[in-house]
Chains A and B, each alone.
Chain A
Amino acid sequence: MTDIAVETRNTAAAAPEHMAWDSRARRMVMLWLPLGCFLLILLFPFYWMAITSFKPNAELYDFRAHNPFWITSPTLDHIHKLLFETAYPRWLMTTMLVAVCSTVLSLFSSTLAAYAIQRLRFRGSQYVGLAIYLAYLVPPSIQFIPLATMVYQLGLFDTPFALILTYPTFLIPFCTWLLIGYFKSIPYELEECALIDGATRLQILRRITLPLAVPGLISAGIFSFTLSWNEFIYALAFIQSSESKTVPVAILTELVTGDVYQWGALMAGSLLGSLPVAIFYSFFVDYYVSSLTGAVKE
């Protein structure tokens, strides 16, 4: 008897709140329909990319004879061509190396910069913050020629270091601004307590602020990684050897020959190239969401 009562109570608690004005039709129009449209728009490009990767050329080019939204005789030819007839695995490794190194470098620099601007409050700190933000607004298409000069003079041209050291030019301003906002949401009183206990600024940063800022760091890291992974113009300008290219540039060079686009292999390259980012996101999605809602709930 008691068990039944408890179970009934639990079921009632688990059921969604049902208001008088709520109805199935209303939920359909207000929730499921917009959500469905959103999912369709968001996922359709990925679906298209995936089915194109496995379609034989005959199906790819003839929409009259074949349903464009489905595959009748799937093939692995495009994947095989990509993996075994091009240097794709090497491009993938280069892209990974560049994205990871530039992300780590940017996060390290941004953390120190954001902490200094937000917490040390030195004279002109606000203006420094503003200047960093303005640097973010300068488009890469303007920066790439002066940066190319520097890259040449430092002897880094056509090496992964050319990208590892230039990507932070847009990653650091972005991450710094993200982290300034995040550090702002951590109560200053925590640091004051630590100061009273005799901790130094670096100790406070390492033992108090950074552990609380992990979701913010992960969020900044995800953004940096994705921006680095997808970057095109610097990778195009600073790398010329076929084997040192990153995925976004290399698949275009290798799989677009004049006006002949090898769509199957191109889409397979894009699909395989987007997987590491998707996996990266899936590991840290909880942190990412929590970072958007602030560090410490007061």
Chain B
Amino acid sequence: MLKTTRRNAIGLSAATLAACAAAERAQAQAQTITAADATAPRLPLESGATLRMLRPVRFVQPDEDVFRANCARFTQATGVQVRVDFVGWEDITQQTAVTANTGAGPDLIIGFNESPHVYADKLVELSDVAEYLGKRYGGWLALAQRYGKRHGTNNWIGLPFGSTGGPLVYRKSAVNAAGYERPPEDLPNFLDLCRKLKQAGKPSGFALGNAVGDGNGFANWVVWSHNGFLVNEDGTVGINSRETVAALHYLKELYATFIPGTLSWGDVSNNRAYASNECWLTANGVSLYFALKNDPATRAIAEDTEHMLLPKGLASASPMAGLTLNAMVFKHSRYPNASKALLQFLLEREQMDPWLNANLGYWAHPLANYDASAVWTSDPKVTLFRDTMRSPFWIGYKGPISEASAAANAEYVMVQMCASVASGQATPEAAAREAERRAQRFFRRR
């Protein structure tokens, strides 16, 4: 039991004052986000409403703390109790499947990417809330619109909360020593840089194993940067193309410059290799930078680390589709209005801006006016992540987002195509044919 002493009391008062000051500062910062006058949708709260939400586990502790505090403020404002449970990133898909298929469980889930599109017929439409928020905060960014709206319609079935990109993470000293100011945007020079890094004993490395974020991110970049794609706009498979074969030939040369072992890399492998000076150029979210920065043993590496969007290659924009948090409300919920009101509340500037700041730039905002959030100027190395949701690429590019595109991604069709070429198991032509055959299994039956 805590014994109340004068010293304790002074300490507690100081902590309380500090917390109050931080909250006031956060609210003041939030007011710098421009918000236009817009009429909020009428959402009469159901009497006796209580809500239950599932979301992926935090990136850093303040993510969870601020999110819970925001929900508590909603309770304070409306009287609706909100319970939030956090689930592992790899596990949220199964939890969503169980919830959707049994028609019971949490009222709302914040899942990833295309989840709302897989369970579209089991979800409450969110167009009224989305339109209001879009008007109020300068419009939804490209990736948010892609993941939020049902394909070919203006009907919102998901409300994106943020997205995390995986740009290049590199050691400035090594890249400079190789004769480049920063990694080049064009593919031949990028290959040249990787060769020089290898010669210098400071190799690059990108995941070619079944890694949800890094593996898919790299395989997509290889193909998209050569103007290849998995699916045509009409939803037919388009992976077996001249562009894909060219991309795979390029990969074969690029792979020779990698650190050994990337074929078995999972999402965490490049973090470890980079932190131990084994790998000097890779692709990752901002988590790697903060992990290095927060550990005194690796702070020097963080200081030498820079970020850059993945090289454009032949594409018009950096080929990168961020991992996107996408909220959905289930029809089985007895309190759909309260659920929608909660999502709306969480995306308002008073809640959203402190949450973005708490995440240190890990989650990039979905609404344009949050460009002004202080998080993007808090550390110059983080600023680049601000535009993650402006990307014109998405998982399953450039076809409609559907259950099929989700399945093809979950089965690592692109990753395994790249890995088979890199390992020498298949020629680029054979690998593209095999990927086409596998992709057709998913896209044909739907």
Contact = CB atoms under 8 A, between A and B. Distances in A.
A240 B88 contact: no
Contact of A241 (B60, B85, B97, B291): B85
Interface stretch (A61-69, A214-222, A274-282): A61-69
Contact of A257 (B57, B97, B213): B57
A181 B284 CA distance: 54
Contacts of A240: 54, 85, 87, 95, 105-106
A249 interface: yes
Contacts of A238: 98
Interface stretch (B30-38, B113-121, B267-275, B427-435): B267-275
B24 interface: no
Interface in B189-226: 213-214
Contact of A256 (B89, B97, B101, B103): B89
Contact of A259 (B95, B271, B277): B271
B87 A61 contact: no
Interface in A206-256: 233, 236-238, 240-242, 249, 252-254, 256
A44 to B, nearest CB: 18
Interface in B83-101: 85-91, 94-95, 97-98, 101
Contacts of B58: 257
Nearest to B286: A258
Nearest to A243: B85
A254 B88 CA distance: 7
Interface bracket on B: 35 or more
Interface in A105-155: 144-145, 148-149, 152
Contacts, number: 90
Contacts of A258: 57, 59, 89, 164, 285, 287, 362
**A144, A236, A249, most chain B CB atoms within 10 A:** A236
Contacts of B316: none
B416 to A, nearest CB: 20
Contact of A149 (B91, B94, B102, B213): B102
A259 B102 contact: no
Given A145-B97, A236-B95, A259 B86 contact: no
Contacts of A149: 101-102
Contacts of B102: 145, 148-149, 152
A62 B279 CA distance: 12
B85 A58 contact: no
Given A61-B276, A64-B276, A257-B60, A144 B91 contact: no
B371 interface: no
A240 B86 CA distance: 8
Given A157-B105, A242-B85, A258-B285, A64 B57 contact: no
A62 B102 CA distance: 46
B295 interface: yes
Contacts of A46: none
A57 B295 contact: yes
A242 B86 contact: yes
Nearest to B266: A259
Contacts of A242: 85-86
Nearest to B97: A145
A144 B105 CA distance: 15
A243 to B, nearest CB: 9
B252 to A, nearest CB: 27
B340 to A, nearest CB: 21
B408 to A, nearest CB: 20
**A149, A157, A240, A256, most chain B CB atoms within 10 A:** A240
A256 B86 CA distance: 12
Contacts of B106: 240
Contacts of B10: none
A47 interface: no
A261 interface: yes
A152 B59 contact: no
A153 to B, nearest CB: 8
Given A253-B87, A259-B287, A148 B267 contact: no
A252 B87 CA distance: 9
Contacts of B271: 259-260
Contacts of A241: 85
A57 B297 contact: yes
A253 B276 contact: no
A152 B268 contact: no
**B98, B276, B298, most chain A CB atoms within 10 A:** B98
B104 interface: yes
A144 B85 CA distance: 20
A259 B276 contact: no
Contacts of A254: 57
Interface string A44-73: 000000000000011001111000000000
B277 A253 contact: no
B297 A58 contact: yes
Given A61-B275, A64-B278, A145-B97, A256 B85 contact: no
B54 A253 contact: no
B88 A253 contact: yes
Nearest to A238: B98
A259 B214 contact: yes
A215 B288 CA distance: 52
List the 3 closest pairs (A to B, CB-CB), nearest first. Answer: A152-B104, A58-B297, A259-B267
9 contacts: A61-B275, A64-B276, A152-B105, A236-B91, A240-B54, A240-B105, A257-B58, A259-B267, A259-B287
Interface of A: 57-58, 61-64, 144-145, 148-149, 152, 157, 233, 236-238, 240-242, 249, 252-254, 256-261
Given A148-B98, A236-B95, 8 more contacts: A145-B97, A233-B94, A236-B91, A240-B54, A253-B57, A254-B57, A257-B57, A260-B59
